[in-house]
Amino acid sequence: MRKIVSIILAGVLVVSLFSGCEKVAPDVIENNGGFAVSDGKMVYYIDHSDLPYAGSIRRVSVDNLAVESELVFDGVAENLNLSKDGKIYFLSYDGIYLIDLKKEGVSPSWNKTKFVELDNIDWIPMVLSDDWLYFCKKSKVKDCFFEINRIDVNTLEIETLVDGSDCIVGLQGFSLVGNSLYYVAYDAEKRHGLMKMDILDGTRSLVIETGKSENDIGLNEFHVTTEYIFCKSENGEVIKRFDLNGENEEVIYTAKDNAVKVVFVDTDFIYFQEYRDESFYYRIKADGTGDREQIVEDRIDGSWYKTAFVAGKIFVHYHFSFDGNEDGRKNVSYCFDRDGKNSFKLN
């Protein structure tokens, strides 16, 4: 069911998609909806030095990521989206904002323009695809459920794709792959699982049924690529892979150390956290062959709160469980190669 709505009431949620490209053309946008995005020339990222959920926007050249970054927006921002016409969309305290990068030139602190006003904002993702900005807001129908919406960035027309009566959303939010929208919900027969919706004709189907409730941790952390759906089992000990219709289930990995948390998936690898008393980060081939490979051998105390794969590198925002680290900051972002080598802190 679709309907046009006139106002946006609350928070925003969508997922980040990860690309496996080592080099991108200037007009290709990588990782819209994430804390770090790239247009092939520059990487724009959120500086989480003081706030775990938001921060200022900085940018650095793809050709020299280790140099001191440039301040783009000195304020509170989250969930970055780049358009091919040179605009950057992001969340702030009271709405969605944009900065016209071409218009503002190279000023060290550019001015923002309010694009859409939102109440009760939450620091959860949204994603720009073509001329549509996909987001969700809290359901008017049921507590803890969400509507999934999109807004045309040119006309400001808003469409409700999912009305909020059945949509759970969960930790991973929802994934947009081509014309297919994936999200956790109940179907018309009250079966729970991962739904797939065609955004062109509105048809929906339950592609992975769990028989569980909205608290099912496996599907709440699903990841969708252009070829597969990845999620973990309810007990967190197994990583599974399905085709895009939820069929041909395969077990890709079984935990060696108690439980796993899938961080992100690109075209070649699954990156995951595995932990018992201490947590470490690994990757395995996306087809399940070979053994796990540890990422970042010199472990930093803290967890990968957010990740992005852009410009052929992995960008990680670490969230620390204690008050500060070696440079006195509570949070810090790092960049390293896909195999975890050549790690350095973003400046």
CATH of the domain at 288: 2.130.10.120
- pLDDT, residue 78, reads 84
Residues near 326 by beta carbon (within 8 Å), at least 6 away in sequence: none
Give the sheet arrangement for strand 132-138, strand by strand: 3-4, 158-162, 146-152, 132-138, 127-129
Q: How far apart are the first and last CA of the chain?
A: 47
- pLDDT, residue 28, reads 80
Token look-up 């602190």 returns 109
- In sign, the C-alpha dihedral spanning 21, 24, 29, 34 is positive
Q: In this structure, what DSSP letter does residue 68 have?
A: P
- pLDDT, residue 248, reads 94
- 103 sits in which H/E element: helix 101-104
Distances in Å between the alpha carbon of 329 and those of 51, 89, 319? Answer: 10, 27, 10
- 101 sits in which H/E element: helix 101-104
Contact 173, 12 (CB under 8 A): no
CA dihedral 228, 284, 60, 130 (to 10 degrees): 0
- What is the pTM for the complete model shown? 0.80
For 186, the token pair is 């109940």
For 197, the token pair is 């919706």
The secondary structure of 242-268, three-state, reads EECCCCCCEEEEECCCCEEEEEEECCC
CA dihedral 330, 96, 154, 170 (to 10 degrees): 80
Distances in Å between the alpha carbon of 17 and those of 69, 177, 215, 247? Answer: 24, 8, 23, 21
Euclidean distance between CA atoms 337 and 315, whole angstroms: 9
Q: How many C-beta atoms surround the C-beta of residue 74 within 10 A?
A: 13
Length, in residues, of the chain: 347
Euclidean distance between CA atoms 129 and 150, whole angstroms: 10
Q: How many C-beta atoms surround the C-beta of residue 193 within 10 A?
A: 20
Classify burial at 226, counting beta carbons within 10 Å of its beta carbon; exposed 0-12, middle 13-18, buried 19 or more.
exposed
Q: How many C-beta atoms surround the C-beta of residue 250 within 10 A?
A: 12
Structurally, how many domains does the chain consist of? 1
Tens-digit pLDDT profile for the chain (347 aa)? 433 333 322 332 333 333 333 444 446 889 898 889 999 999 999 887 656 567 889 999 999 888 888 888 888 888 899 998 889 998 887 778 888 887 755 454 556 777 777 665 556 668 899 899 998 777 777 777 778 888 899 998 889 898 877 877 655 678 899 999 998 888 878 888 889 999 999 999 999 887 655 555 566 678 898 899 998 877 778 898 999 999 999 999 998 877 788 888 887 899 988 876 566 788 999 888 888 888 875 555 557 777 888 888 888 887 654 444 454 445 678 888 888 888 788 87
Q: What range does the domain containing 323 cover?
A: 3-345
219 by DSSP, 3-state: which?
helix
Euclidean distance between CA atoms 327 and 335, whole angstroms: 17
